[in-house]
Structure 1
Amino acid sequence: MTQRPSEGGSSKDYRIPEKREQITLSDHRPTSVIDTRTNTIIALVVFAFTLIVYIFTQARTTSFWDSGEYATCMSILGVPHPPGNPFYIVFGRALVAIFGSFISHAIIAAFVSCLTSALAVMFTYLMTVKLVSMFKLSKWDAVFAGVIAACFTAFSFTFWMNAIEAEVYSGLVFFVNINIWLILIWVEKSRDFSHQNILLLIIYVFFLGFGVHQTALQIAPAILFIMV
């Protein structure tokens, strides 16, 4: 408190306003709360366990809806119903060309969903660990939250059903999740301009996801909001 003389000779009390603490992005950046080796091992265990469960429960032939169409398009490198899923079909066709002589094409088409779903679950774990790290919790709290989020994703009814049949949604979720994880990596390292090439990778992965399913476009506003 400071006294300031007034024009009439008397003093007047007034308070100097205190400077408020401003919360900025730097106060809530994702951090690497767990060492890379441990985090990678846990992520791979989550991926392997999920993939094994999906393989044992996957469809052995074509199932309902678009599965037969996608399996056929992978076999002949055909064009599915508009607006199309070019990257999904080309990737499946590559696996058919390699393994199609001794494995059913329907099984290969379903395996594509198993593989991309397991990868999506793995990146659910990784991005959850990054998100939880923003709240300054311990590393094992982050790991526990990541594993729980991965399990809830992997074995939820809708996700599991799409993971074991020839469908594009598992591939879509994979590309959305990896993009979110890359954005969190970029936010963590955005002060270091040597890591700005991550932006190019984010854009590249985004358009790969667009080639799987056009609803990948839904995360574009979030990407622009965080980066701009």
Structure 2
Amino acid sequence: MARFSNGWHPNTTKGEASSPSYNWAAVVVAVVALVLYLHTLHPGVGPYLDSIEYQITTLVLGVSHPPGYPLYTGLGRLFVALLPWRNAAFRLNLLSAVCSALTVALVQQVTYRLTRSILLSLFGALSLAVAVRFWYQANYAELYPLNGAFVAATTLALLAWMQTRRPALYFLSAGLYALNFGVNAPAVVLLPMWFFAVLVTDHRMLTRPRNLVLTALIVLVAAAQYLYVPLRAFQHPPFCNYCPENWSEVPAFLSGREWWGIAFGVQPRYYLQRWADSGYQLMLQFWPVGVLLGAVGLWNLVRERTRLGVLFLLGLVGEWFFVVTYDVVDWADFMHPLYILFAPLLAVGLGEAWGWLAARTDRWRAPGRVAVLGLFALAMAGLLVATAINNYPLVDQSQRTDWHAWARDLLAQMEPGSWVLTPPTPTDGFVHSWALRFVSWAENRVPDLVIVYLPGLDPPGPPPGYLRWEEAEPHLAEHPLYVIELDDERLRNYVLLPVLRNDGWPLGYRVVGGRAADGGVEPWVSPEEWVQIQDRLLWP
């Protein structure tokens, strides 16, 4: 079968690896991707609960939910503390954009090593860059982009080691893979892929005592990042979600015991449905033609360069198995590594399609052959452009200032020392209360604001920033008290005063009275203010 180029062989020479055009192509796709992502980047706090959690964690150098994600916290803190632009939430969102652009560059490098074609490597990398979910996740604070950068970097290191057998690349792959556990614990599903690369390339890297000891040392150094969790948690930072109180609780926290029921929790009878749904998600990223090209590319690798084909197959199967069995509503978000591993295969498949078409038109007259091949190339380039144009409005979050503006407006009307009741978890107000917490600390707006958490739940931080409901309830009338969600059965006993924006839109409610023991209403404000607000009250 004809080939896209003459160099489709797994061995890489020193000259090829350091080719200026090879490296500049990575810079080009990274810049293109970063420009796109900066245009669609979320400008502030949000848009999801986990995003706000990470924004708070990096702001106060706290601890996120189990297992704590220390590497993400550390890198995020550097972005928040050192960058001079905009607000702290924007800076952490920017980390996602930078990591995603880096991932695109790394995918270009991986693809070039598979195809030896700069054009094909550009196509594979840009296909990933404009994939709708990958692009969307580049716009806000989350773990996926940094995890994706580590997945791409580990894959590149393994691939380069398999092609060159340079020991330094093996140790680099071990370090990258081990560090990734500080970002994403489910990285364990890539362990078969990593072990396979070792066994088929040079098993002595794990059987020779010296190499084994050095590998173990690398893993231990990477694992040491998790010492941050207990050491910081025991200092009682302002924010510490599911915080371990002592050393006996640390193993459960680090092992993510809180999530044991959902990891691999989908019942087997639903596997087929989840498999079909995940296949649909893959087609949303790369269109059916892209999925077909990726399948052709994987088949070509397995057939002609079996070790490389099995390497990618194990990576895809591991990540896909996790996605199929992960029992959460937002399971599709965890397909992020799948897209990264699939994009190079798409480019390999495109090379095969080009080779097939070139062979079929080899005996044609030059004008006809050039026209057919030119139209094919234009169609592929047009597919990239059309994908970017189609996806831009779907991923654009650059105007999502509503939560940040709401929090600023509400805090502007609060008194120092105000308390806020956390709304029930199923409501939008629950997430809004986290945004309020972030803005109050990040912008020094009512910084002594106290969040009163839900009954029966441990708050994600210690006093004075957070209080348990059971501790706060007897003292509610002693402080300015606000609520932001009416869907709360606790409000049946309170008289509420709407807090309005300049245009009359309600931002929240201040509790100005409560039901007395005799069934009447007891004002919590002065008699003069009580008289003035009678016509605006919401009664229990």
TM-score after normalising by structure 1? 0.78
Matched, 1:43 2:48: no
Aligned residues: 189
Query: Match of 1:184, as an amino acid?
Result: L
Contact kept? 2:10, 2:163, Cα under 8 Å: yes
Aligned to 1:144: 119
Rounded Cα–Cα distance in structure 2 between residues aligned with 1:215 and 1:145: 30
The residue correspondences of 1:4-15 to structure 2 (distance < 5 A) are none
Q: Mapping of 1:92-131 within 5 angstroms?
A: 92-99=76-83, 103-131=86-114
The one of 128, 131, 139 equivalent to 1:164 is: 139
Structure 1 runs not aligned, ≥5 long: 1-26, 134-141
Tell whether 2:55 aligns with 1:74: no
Q: Displacement of 1:204 after TM fit? A: 0.9
Cα distance between partner residues in 2 of 1:28 and 1:226: 17
Matched with 2:196 is: 225
For residue 20 of structure 1, what is the aligned residue in structure 2?
Answer: none
Partner of 1:31: 12
What's 1:19 paired with?
none
Q: Is the aligned partner of 1:173 residue 2:148? A: yes
Aligned match of 1:3: none
Instruction: Using the TM superposition, give the Cα deviation of residue 216 of structure 1 relative to its aligned residue in structure 2, in angstroms.
Output: 2.0
> In the alignment, what sits opposite 1:211?
182
Whether contact under 8 Å (2:112, 2:118) holds in the other structure is yes
| Cα distance between partner residues in 1 of 2:112 and 2:132 | 23
Q: Is the 8 A contact 1:30 1:131 kept in 2?
A: no
* Distance apart, 1:189 and its partner CA: 1.2
Secondary structure at the aligned position of 1:78 is classed as coil
In structure 2, what is the Cα distance between the partners aligned to 1:95 and 1:35? 30
Matched, 1:63 2:34: no
Residue 71 of structure 1, CA deviation: 0.7
**Aligned partners of 1:220 and 1:121: how far apart in 2?**
23
- Is the CA contact (8 Å cut-off) linking 1:125 and 1:146 kept in structure 2? yes
Opposite residue 197 of structure 1, the aligned amino acid is: A
Over the residues paired in the alignment, what is the CA RMSD in angstroms?
A: 1.8
Alpha-carbon distance in 2 for matches of 1:161, 1:37: 31
Distance 2:43 2:11 in 1: 42
Matched residue, 2:161: 186
Partners of 1:31 and 1:197 lie apart in 2 by: 15
The question of whether the paired residues in 1 share the 8 Å contact of 2:10 and 2:113 is answered with: no
Structure 1 residues 28 and 227: CA distance shift in structure 2, 3 A = farther
Distance (whole Å) between structure 2 residues aligned to residue 131 and residue 151 of structure 1: 16
Task: Give the drift of 1:99.
Answer: 2.4
Q: Give the C-alpha shift of residue 30 in structure 1.
A: 4.0
Residues 77 and 93, structure 1, Cα contact 8 Å, conserved in 2: yes
State the distance in 1 between where 2:119 and 2:41 align.
28
Q: Distance in 2 between the 1:36 and 1:179 partners?
A: 21
Partners of 2:160 and 2:190 in 1: how far apart? 16
Whole-Å separation in 2 of the counterparts to 1:196 and 1:117: 28
Give CA-to-partner distance per residue, 1:21-75, whole Å, 9 cap, x none. Answer: xxxxxx9524255762111111101111111111111000121231111111110
The separation in 1 between residues aligned to 2:110 and 2:118, in whole angstroms, is 11
Q: Which has the higher contact order (CA 8 A, sep 6+)?
A: 1
Answer whether contact 2:143 2:184 (CA < 8 A) is retained.
yes
Aligned partner letter, 1:199: Y
Matched, 1:87 2:58: no
Indicate the SS of the match to 1:66. Answer: helix
Partner of 2:250: none
Distance 1:28 1:217, change over 3 A: farther
Letter of the structure 2 residue corresponding to residue 180 of structure 1? T
Amino acid at match of 2:137: N
* Distance change in 2, residues 1:216/1:171 (3 Å): same
Report the AA paired with residue 32 of structure 2. Answer: F
Matching residue of 1:5? none
Cross-structure match for 2:115: 132
Retained in 2: the 8 A contact 1:30–1:184?
A: no
CA distance in 1, matches of 2:142, 2:118: 30
Any conservation in 2 of the 1:87–1:211 contact (CA below 8 Å)? yes
Q: Any conservation in 1 of the 2:54–2:64 contact (CA below 8 Å)?
A: yes
For residues 35 and 94 of structure 1, the distance between their equivalents in structure 2, rounded to whole angstroms, comes to: 31
Q: Which runs of 4+ in 1 moved over 6 A?
A: none
- The TM-score, its normalising length taken from structure 2, stands at 0.34
**Cα distance in structure 1, aligned partners of 2:66 and 2:189:** 18
